Amino acid sequence: MTVHDRDFPELRAAVRESILGAAMLRMRSAVQVAWSEAVVTRAVATRFAAIRNTSPALAVQSLGIAVATAALGAWVMSLWIPTYLGTSIPAWAFFFAAFAAALAAVWPETFANQWSRSGLRRLSFWFR
């Protein structure tokens, strides 16, 4: 029970007993059941579980390859876009991102070990 569950108990009871409140509660429970039994939700949950169960080195290597490919792809696409429509990201930034990601893909164990001691990792716990 959260603090909000104890706020305004009479009002909550009145809303639950009203026609609109009862309909909303039934609809919420139907959506919760449909969400938990949906094929897409189960498929996504299965994929997330598989990603969580990968080793840190393999996750770093996969992410490094994806980021390096994306950085070089973004640089190539930036060459086709007219200057007045493009971003202000310089070409060297794309190359730097690709190089850093390629280093992570080549030595994933080192990056995974450094991440476990990283201050950025501790900062990321604030956003979870």
pLDDT of residue 3 exceeding 70 = no
Q: Judge whether 86 lies within some domain.
A: yes
pTM of the model: 0.61
pLDDT at 2: 58
Mean pLDDT of 11-38: 88
| DSSP letters spanning 68-89 | HHHHHHHHHHHHHS-TTTS-S-
Cα(53)–Cα(47) distance, integer angstroms:
10
pLDDT at 123: 81
Tell me: do 30 and 77 sit in the same domain. no
pLDDT of residue 128 exceeding 80 = no
Tell me: do 62 and 95 sit in the same domain. yes
In this structure, how many other beta carbons lie within 10 angstroms of the beta carbon of residue 103? 14
The domain tally of the chain equals: 2
Tell me: do 59 and 36 sit in the same domain. no
Tell me: do 100 and 65 sit in the same domain. yes
Q: Judge whether 49 lies within some domain.
A: no
Apex 41 CA angle, 47 and 70, nearest 5: 45
Tell me: do 7 and 32 sit in the same domain. yes
Interval 100-110: pLDDT, tens? 999 999 999 99
Tell me: do 80 and 115 sit in the same domain. yes
pLDDT of residue 92 exceeding 90 = yes
Interval 60-87: pLDDT, tens? 999 999 999 999 999 999 999 888 887 8
**Residue 31's domain spans which residues?**
3-40
Q: What is the dihedral of CA 71, 76, 80, 82, to 10 degrees?
A: 40
Calculate the average pLDDT of the chain: 87
pLDDT at 103: 95
Tell me: do 21 and 81 sit in the same domain. no
Q: Judge whether 9 lies within some domain.
A: yes
Q: Judge whether 120 lies within some domain.
A: yes
Tell me: do 63 and 106 sit in the same domain. yes
Tell me: do 74 and 19 sit in the same domain. no
